[in-house]
Amino acid sequence: MNIYLSIFYRIIPLVMAFICVIAGFLTLDNSDNPEKFLAGFVLISLAGICLALFCTAATIIRQIINRYSTFFKIFLPILGYTSASLICILGVYIIKYTNIPLHFVSGHIIFGVGCITFCVSTVALSSVKFSLIPKNSESSNSLVPQNSFTKSQVNILILIPILASLILWIISFNLLKNFSIHENFVAGFVVFGLAAICTSLIGLVASIARQIRNEYKSGDKKLWIFLVLLMGTINVILGILILVYNKEVYAIAPGYVLIGLGMVCYSISSKIILLALVWKKNNPLAGKVTLIPILTALFCLFLTVFLVIVYYPTQLTYVPERVLAGLGAICFSLFSIVSILESATSK
């Protein structure tokens, strides 16, 4: 990978984060409208995921181009975890100190986005020894490299997204116990979709960590690919079912957002699939995997346009239109990561 291409791949998630922040502030527009509050702050929080993806991209690329110093080894994961912490704190603050129903929804969604940012930051942390993956893949033995992660370190890395997932699953089912309350219905199903993304990221962290230790087996390939595709499919099907069987206005937003969250899961699957395809062998299909996050990003953007056209000028889809655009930005950011992985692992 040449220096110019490495800069391009690092710029993509930063640009997407910048777009989410600008779009979020433009949506807020100093208005007390709860829908603008919800859409604006969710867009701003989605920038945290893009920033964590930048940390992941920079962590891997700097190893590829031999410019990975101790400073970046410490700074990049800290940057990701700091942004995740701030987003979670913002979500908790909104939940605790506001009484408006849509603000209640905003707080739970923002907290969920913060949990995803924690998981993506863990992907960056697990990638600090990424340079071992190509070496292990080329080796025919199964010996653990001396400078690899310890078994305990791998378990801790995997435990972080597991805990984040459990927290969101518990919050989701707790909210959905009273799904007849509109704000519980909306927040519960969206947090459900966010929990599915965190669960998908367990597979990505586990795949990277286990390949670094040269302990990646055929069972890992099947398990993690199945898990992430299952999460994405559940999100999409659940979103469609909500739109088909619940004709209430408040069901529109969670229905479409769940479909968008399913696209994010499919984008994550591209990295897990790529790591599985090129492990210990050459695979001509590996280069095609980079198309998955591009297609999912385009789907989110086309769905945004569809909502604008179909529901204009009712404003019924004001929130999902903007959230889907932010999810498209995340999918496109994930394109940079899978392209980096393809470049680093191609033989």
Residue 338 has φ and ψ, to the nearest 5°, of: -70, -30
Span 126-135, average pLDDT: 92
Q: Dihedral through CA 168, CA 173, CA 179, CA 182, nearest 10?
A: -10
Q: Can you read off the two tokens belonging to residue 178?
A: 């009273």
pLDDT of 30 reads 64
Does residue 134 fall inside a structural domain? no
pLDDT band at residue 294, thresholds of 50, 70 and 90?
Answer: very high
pLDDT band at residue 62, thresholds of 50, 70 and 90?
Answer: very high
Span 194-209, average pLDDT: 97
Does residue 322 fall inside a structural domain? yes
Does residue 48 fall inside a structural domain? yes
Does residue 96 fall inside a structural domain? yes
78-103 pLDDT, tens digit each: 999 999 999 999 999 999 988 888 89
Q: Can you read off the two tokens belonging to residue 154?
A: 């791998």
pLDDT of 347 reads 55
Q: Which residues contact 122 (CB under 8 A, 6 or more apart)?
A: 157, 160, 161, 201, 205
Span 156-173, average pLDDT: 97
**CA-CA distance, 202 to 206, in Å (whole number)?**
6
Report the number of distinct structural domains present in the chain.
1
Maximum C-alpha span of the chain = 63
Does residue 94 fall inside a structural domain? yes
Does residue 139 fall inside a structural domain? no
**CA-CA distance, 94 to 90, in Å (whole number)?**
6
Q: Tokens 């346009």 — which residue?
A: 305
Q: Using alpha carbons only, give the angle 100, 101, 104 rounded to the nearest 5 degrees.
A: 90
**CA-CA distance, 273 to 315, in Å (whole number)?**
39
Q: Can you read off the two tokens belonging to residue 54?
A: 């930048």
Does residue 240 fall inside a structural domain? yes
**CA-CA distance, 264 to 14, in Å (whole number)?**
18
pLDDT of 341 reads 86
pLDDT band at residue 118, thresholds of 50, 70 and 90?
Answer: very high
Q: Can you read off the two tokens belonging to residue 113?
A: 């986005």
Q: 69 lies in which domain range?
A: 3-129+147-345
Is residue 28 scored above 90 in pLDDT? no
CA distance readout (Å), 81 to 105, 144, 237:
23, 28, 32
At 60, which amino acid appears? I
Determine which of 6-10, 139-143, 292-296, 325-329 has the lowest per-residue pLDDT on average: 139-143
Does residue 174 fall inside a structural domain? yes
Is residue 209 scored above 80 in pLDDT? yes
